[in-house]
Structure 1
Amino acid sequence: MTDTAADFVRSYAALAPVPFLPEIKLHQADEPIGLWELTEGEYRSEQPPPFWAFAWAGGQALARYVFDHPETTAGKRVLDLAAGSGLVAVTAALTGAATVRAVDIDPLSAAAIELNAAANGVQVSVDQADILGGDAGDAEVVLAGDVFYSQAMADRMTGFLRRAVKNGARVLVGDPDRAFLPKPLFHEVAAYDVPTPFALESVTVKHTRVWELRGPAKA
């Protein structure tokens, strides 16, 4: 984490409880549109929009499920994929995961995850990388919140997650019925009505489900 990235996160995202998981605090932007415009302007050529600055519905639902079902991650090696703010990674660490690795391509995300882990008193290993062409390594549980937001991302993510299941990992995703989620590959394990900023979703509550990827024989 560079000092510049950490300073940017602190400047534009205040530490506050997560709406659907107040047990956890994250650095969150007060004004989604303003920050989006800032990062898409000055930082357009270097990084994606600031997914790290918001508690997205899919991540909130997945984190809520993990927090309420700590046996999901307790004692296990966990990978949080396209981790954004690190909400799901922090939750896995708080629920007793043996190790937690959070991966995202955005340098500001990496900084936010480290700051958010420290704010919640947990250890998370952070990788700024694109690993979707590879595999989940030794992860026993792979978690991904709100990652099916485009066809290109869904195609790459689905391939990665199916390889993870084939190698023995349990895969859980949180998704608020995005158009690109390949539902036939999954079965539902939980559903929630998650509070969301109107500026992000055009609604203040988003019905969001947690899904588990079926094994190769069932998919």
Structure 2
Amino acid sequence: MSTHVLDRHLQKTLSRGRVAATRPAGCPDIELYLFDPQVLDGPLSHDEAQAVVGEPAYWSFCWASGQVLAQWILQHPHLVAGKRVLDFGSGSGIVAIAAAIAGAAEVVACDLDPAALDAAEANAAGNGVALKRCEDWYQRPQALDVITAADVLYDPDNRGFLAEFRAAAPQVLLADSRVRDLGDPAYVRQAVIEARTWPDLNEFEEFNQVRIYHTV
């Protein structure tokens, strides 16, 4: 996957946009093609940051929860090793890539946005691993062992996925910085880890506290 393809996707949101290879501070072992802030004169303005958040070329930023969950998987490879993993809302693909590096038998990147899947594919190739694509959660492969998901509960309408994840696989690994109480006792908090979106969008400090959950 050429970075020119990713640049064209990004320019639909930011006309000056382009991607560059970088290593997020929260998971520096994985290199990603992300938005290159050097195309701007200084940091993102408030309006530009709001445009990025509101018009999701979200795959071009690596959000805090994705970094933390990817690093968690790299540090605990037994969670995915030899297993069939689906990463829900894959975005840049960092969590899916971490699962592949950690020895998963197969990793499926699932995202509604074809541009995100292009990015996940390109980023996976850059890290020497391969992912499968899925554009529709409801047409996902069967016989999954693990579901991973990071920062997918920002919309209250998405809370129903918590039960759907548990029904889809015997193990769910979830990271979230937006919801303090999931309201589902099957998700047991393992840790709270600080991280920042990469490149930094100067979000509220509360969104830099990432909670990691495993299902039981």
| Bin of the TM-score, shorter chain as denominator length | 0.7 to 0.9
Structure 1: 5+ residue runs without aligned partners? 41-47, 215-219
Query: Of 20, 45, 48, which residue of structure 2 is paired with 1:34?
Result: 48
1:128-139 aligned at under 5 Å gives the runs: 129-131=135-137, 133=138, 137-139=142-144
Q: CA deviation at 1:39?
A: 9.2
Residue identity in the other structure for 1:209: R
Conserved? CA contact 1:36–1:50, under 8 Å = no
SS at match of 1:195: coil
Change (3 A) 1:91 1:198: closer
Identify the residue that residue 43 of structure 1 maps to in structure 2: none
Residue identity in the other structure for 1:58: S
Identify the residue that residue 208 of structure 1 maps to in structure 2: 210
CA distance in structure 2 between the aligned counterparts of 1:39 and 1:75, rounded to whole angstroms:
35
SS at match of 2:66: helix
CA distance in structure 1 between the aligned counterparts of 2:74 and 2:3, rounded to whole angstroms:
31
Which is further off, 176-185 or 11-20? 176-185
RMSD: 2.8
Change (3 A) 1:120 1:73: same
TM-score, normalised to structure 2's length?
0.80
Q: CA deviation at 1:213?
A: 2.4
CA distance in structure 1 between the aligned counterparts of 2:36 and 2:3, rounded to whole angstroms:
22
Indicate yes or no: 2:106 matched with 1:99: yes
- Give the number of aligned pairs: 201
Q: CA deviation at 1:148?
A: 0.6
Kindly indicate which of the two structures has a greater share of residues assigned to strand. 1
Identify the residue that residue 153 of structure 2 maps to in structure 1: 148
CA distance in structure 2 between the aligned counterparts of 1:153 and 1:13, rounded to whole angstroms:
29
Conserved? CA contact 1:171–1:212, under 8 Å = yes
SS at match of 2:115: helix
Q: CA deviation at 1:107?
A: 1.3
Conserved? CA contact 1:83–1:102, under 8 Å = yes
Which is further off, 8-17 or 184-193? 8-17
Change (3 A) 1:212 1:17: same
Identify the residue that residue 45 of structure 1 maps to in structure 2: none
Q: CA deviation at 1:38?
A: 7.0
SS at match of 2:28: strand
Identify the residue that residue 116 of structure 1 maps to in structure 2: 123
Q: CA deviation at 1:189?
A: 1.7
CA distance in structure 1 between the aligned counterparts of 2:6 and 2:104, rounded to whole angstroms:
25
What's the CA shift string for 1:79-136, capped at 9, x where partnerless? 1111111000000111111111110000110110011001111111122x221x4666
What's the CA shift string for 1:135-185, capped at 9, x where partnerless? 661111110011110111222x223213124xxx21010111426733534
